[in-house]
Amino acid sequence: MKLDKQINDLKEKFKSLNNQLMNSESIENKELIKINKELSKLEPVIIIVNEIEKIENEIKGYRFMLENEKDDDLREIVKKELPEYETTLEKKNKELMLSLLPKDEADEKNAILEIRAGTGGDEAALFAGDLYRMYERYSSNKKWQFNPLEKSETGLKGIKEAVIEVKGNNVFKLLKNESGVHRVQRIPETESGGRIHTSAATVAVLPEAEEFDVDIKDSEIRIDVYRSGGAGGQSVNTTDSAVRITHLPSGIVVIQQDERSQHKNKSKALKILRSRIYDLERQKREKELSTDRKNQVGSGDRSERIRTYNFPQGRVSDHRINLTLYKLDQFLLGEALDEMISALSASQEAEKLNKLNDK
């Protein structure tokens, strides 16, 4: 069985690394750090493996007693305790399988959250604003930092586009499944006939890349500076502070004009650019591992949806896992979002476990 071989290989590797550590007089510090890092990753798996082997031995002993023990009272005790060991073994085996699942190296990173109005005109911009405030409240509940890098607003609390840096513990791990097209069904305030309208907004969640994650050479980018546009008055800069950076190899373009300082706009644009390049490379790697991966964000068309927010019925439906929550108000307050995120994560884990079992 391939899983047994994988476990044996991990045990041998753990043993070998420990032996190297015990005879480390001639090993350089850099190599020692690498060995300790590998051991820290393997140790939790090995602990579970050892616990499983101990429980399996206990179960073998109990089953032997059931077959050979003549004392009826002792057999009754064994019959009562054996199922408890079997249940514990089942839980430990599941823990082991989860620990063997491939880890997403980006899970512990901060995130760049991008929200854009899709189809639906003013109503789509209003809905994008609702999503913006939902994630802002959710971040506040999680004690995360929610720092807007770019925000293009319309009237009536609408948003055409917003780019936000979200910083905290496991931000990308929790938000990554929010990427996609979000659809809303409701009666707009401007609709006198009371008809339900459908509009959409797109959400993209990118792992925030550090400088050492992505090496951007000066020869690979073109930087253009120009005067910021705006609604008039103080919001219009009188200097060439707006920055547009084009990454020539990928064609990615990032524009920043929210700050009055060209230097600050350039710094923000490079932060977003690094994250988009990092996410692009990450998606390429994942596509090589999984041919059935779908694109995170579509065109914004209402037919390309991952979730529907239905106001008349007060429900939120995620179409990837067929889960509907009748908690729309709590959801938009960021209070019921965890329930959906947990269900999506559990579904992904189950899918990965099935693939691991099929190997």
Separation of CA 230 from chain center:
34
Whole-angstrom Cα distance, residue 77 to residue 68?
14
Residues 6+ apart with CB under 8 A from 301: 118, 119, 181, 200
Q: Looking at residue 6, what is its pLDDT? A: 82
pTM of the model: 0.69
pLDDT tens-digit profile of 138-183? Answer: 999 999 999 999 899 987 789 999 999 999 999 999 999 999 999 9
Return the residue matching tokens 């990427």.
Answer: 179
Q: Which of 37-51, 212-226, 275-289 has the highest mean pLDDT?
A: 37-51
Q: Looking at residue 144, what is its pLDDT? A: 97
Instruction: Confirm if 111 and 166 have CB atoms less than 8 A apart.
Output: yes
Whole-angstrom Cα distance, residue 53 to residue 89?
9
Whole-angstrom Cα distance, residue 3 to residue 359?
8
- Confidence class for position 336, pLDDT limits 50, 70, 90: very high
pLDDT tens-digit profile of 99-124? Answer: 887 777 788 889 999 999 998 888 99
- Confidence class for position 229, pLDDT limits 50, 70, 90: low
Q: Looking at residue 41, what is its pLDDT? A: 82
Residue predicted with more confidence, 226 or 89: 89
Task: Quickly count: other Cβ atoms within 10 Å of residue 131's Cβ.
Answer: 23
Q: Which of 358, 272, 282, 290 is nearest to 104 (CA)?
A: 282
The percentage of residues in the chain with a pLDDT greater than 70, rounded to a whole number, is 88
Residues 6+ apart with CB under 8 A from 121: 199
Q: Looking at residue 135, what is its pLDDT? A: 98
Whole-angstrom Cα distance, residue 105 to residue 262?
33
Q: Looking at residue 146, what is its pLDDT? A: 97
- What's the CATH number for 111-350? 3.30.70.1660
Strand partners, 197: 186
**Is the model's pLDDT at 35 over the cut of 50?**
yes
- Confidence class for position 131, pLDDT limits 50, 70, 90: very high
| Structure tokens that stand for 103 in this block | 């880890």
Q: Looking at residue 291, what is its pLDDT? A: 45
**Average pLDDT, rounded, for the chain:** 85
Whole-angstrom Cα distance, residue 18 to residue 236?
63
Q: Looking at residue 83, what is its pLDDT? A: 93
Our CA angle for 223, 225, 229, nearest 5°, is: 135
Return the residue matching tokens 């109990």.
Answer: 62
Q: Looking at residue 356, what is its pLDDT? A: 65
Whole-angstrom Cα distance, residue 224 to residue 328?
43
Q: Are strands 197-207 and 180-186 parallel, antiparallel or unpaired?
A: antiparallel
pLDDT tens-digit profile of 273-312? Answer: 988 888 888 877 766 555 444 444 444 444 468 999 999 9
Whole-angstrom Cα distance, residue 171 to residue 111?
6
3-state secondary structure of 208: coil
Domain ranges of the chain: 2-100, 111-350
Q: Which of 28-32, 95-99, 198-202 has the highest mean pLDDT?
A: 198-202
> Rounded to whole angstroms, what are the CA distances from 215 to 182, 248, 270, 277?
33, 14, 11, 10
The HSE-up count of residue 200 (CA atoms within 13 Å, CB side) is 20
